[in-house]
Structure 1
Amino acid sequence: MTAAMPIDTGASAPAALRPHAEEAFAHELKALAAADDRSRPARWNLSPWAVAMYLLGGVLPDGTVITPKYVGPRRIVEVAVTTLATDRALLLLGVPGTAKTWVSEHLAAAISGDSTLLVQGTAGTPEEAIRYGWNYAELLTHGPSRDALVPSPVMRAMAEGRIARVEELTRIPADVQDTLITILSEKTLPIAELGAETQAVRGFNLIATANDRDRGVNELSSALRRRFNTVVLPLPASAEDEVDIVTRRVEQLGRSLELPAAPEGTDEIRRVVTVFRELRSGVTADGRTKVKSPSGTLSTAEAISVVTNGLALAAHFGDGVLRAPDIAAGIQGAVVRDPAADRVVWQEYLETVVRERDGWKDFYRACREVWSS
């Protein structure tokens, strides 16, 4: 006889693997709100100045440290925040791994206190995901009514004066994308079946993200693009910035995964960042040697994934110290996406750059061991 599974009453609910931004950084948002004496747009939890500080980091008068959520040009954040305080929607554009989703989530968390009004764009995203759907049991029983209507995240944001988010906008079919035109231009969403509409209240706006590698997949119409103010998120300007970003995110992910801290892992993080930056740019850091670039993007997000996986290997199958063998397999997996072309690129990079670099012998041996296995 099989034992019955215990019913979870919620009294000791397990912690979420990835809390929403407004939950993970609730103490910072609360401290900022208490210290924020500047004017706030309607239904904003913080002033534009405080929203920018939340993303860029700083220290409040009471000593509370606001950790940076985005490492990059201040002006980019200021333009993004200012856009959301107007009637223009915001489009965050950039190559994969430039923190578009991360910035979008934190902007919504700081402004509305809710980053969950989200439409995830895919090739199969239907129009109902942006407009509204129906509770078909209610619809069949009582016919079309407000009670039978199931609002989309965008519709809810309009009615509540919050920020809605649309991820990977260019992956959504063009005819579904254009559903946003009336919403963004007229600030209303018609409900044809009821002869009614939902009008946006003050505080509503929309953040969309798009990957510029997807141009031509479902490129935005000129009519829709005019409704957005586009902000391009660049790759980290310097190796030090990228090392800082990777280190911070790995620490955050490590805590959520209950991995031990890796205080001695900075050297390996720097190696991962160096390899990714050199292969991305097609030239070594000293500018002396040209190298071939692989087919993948080798983004900062992928570097974070490689280091996090290496930290897990060190914790569970090593002595807890992040070393070259822990990151070698992850790097090769990130670089060699196309086995036919990328294997040649990686092998040539190992032999002409890594092999000859001072202090990298252990890394070279670890990569060659993975290569030959």
Structure 2
Amino acid sequence: MNFDYTESQRYWIDRIQTFTNNEIIPALTRYHEEDRAGERFKALPVVDELKAKARAQGLWNLFMPPQSGHEPVDDTFVWEGQTLTNLDYAPLAEIMGKLPYAGEVFNCSAPDTGNMEVLMRYGTREQKDAWLRPLMEGTMRSAFLMTEPGVASSDARNIQTSIRREGDEYVITGRKWWSSGAAHPRCKIFILMGKSSPDEAPYRQQSMILVPSDTQGVTIKRMLPVFGYDHGPHGGHAEIILDNVRVPATNMLLGEGRGFEIAQGRLGPGRIHHAMRSIGVAEAALEAMARRLPTRSTFGEVLSRQSLWENRIAEARIDIEMARLLCLKAAYMMDTVGNKIAKAEIAMIKVAAPRVALKVLDDAIQAHGGAGVSEDFGLAEMWATSRMLRIADGPDEVHMRQIARMEFGKYAEAAE
């Protein structure tokens, strides 16, 4: 059993870390200045410049796992990015997770990553040409419309948005919310999950379909902040009304009733990507705490020398290391035995990583005192985002239930 990174993995880690240190971190001041100016949801020139530099250096679409059977459209466009494995990508996503916009710089930000994988795996050639290519080139953004306000969407069988066939079109009617990225001016395509076959078996009722964002009948009703943070300028989280929206029948993904199949293919990688970035968030919080404590004194003693804070620092390091090892194990299993066999590990790290990040962030906020809940250090917004991840892509309770049922299954025969 070897716990060291391979030579190839170290190569990519060094390249991403070097680019982050030399290009992304020095641009933070400009990023915040452009963020505060003009429209709330927008493309920032500084990010576009960094994206061009990253792409020119081949630091692009790093999340896209190896595929097969996809020929390039022409000599200048490659569908697959760098074809790194999940295990290769894990430490890179961790580095990106330390900064709020680093993922976009490398074209590795959600929800685009999951949508690109959906189009890669399940899209027709025409759908790839129209939507996957500009997404992989970083010239377009996308959103994923699944969650609904009127039902418990953690059980996707509850989703009520109607997808009805009329001739050569599908007519879509419903209401979605927490549609991340939908307000970005470059968001041109939605992948929507809705009910197309209500008379079929429960897991054959749902479908996924492509909906261009400018289609008549699509309305962004409002933007939804997370604990007061609107997550601009990256497109925020929208509540969207779909009123008799008509799209061509060719926009259906894979076929009617295949929505759950697509969802499982999309959410597995998405969940572990969130976990990888969460570990980066935890590392950033631990660093902030370790830098802050030696500079503060209470009752005549430096905080870093107090046993209470020594214990919190030590616990943070222990928790992060455990979470990282579980994340790497899950990624390794996804690469070697597939997502289905690795479902327990994916579920466990989806629960564990945000919890670890929240715990370390909470201690880091406490270490900063009043400054910790301000916007000066970014800890409050990181906490808000991490707290959201305990609900996004399936709440903790769903994953815990799955883990428990697998444990019971191991001993069912003995119990009988």
What's the TM-score once normalised by structure 1's chain length?
0.33
Query: If each structure's helix is expressed as a fraction of its own residues, which one has the higher value?
Result: 2
What's the TM-score once normalised by structure 2's chain length?
0.31
Q: Please tell me whether Structure 1 or Structure 2 has the larger radius of gyration of its CA atoms.
A: 1
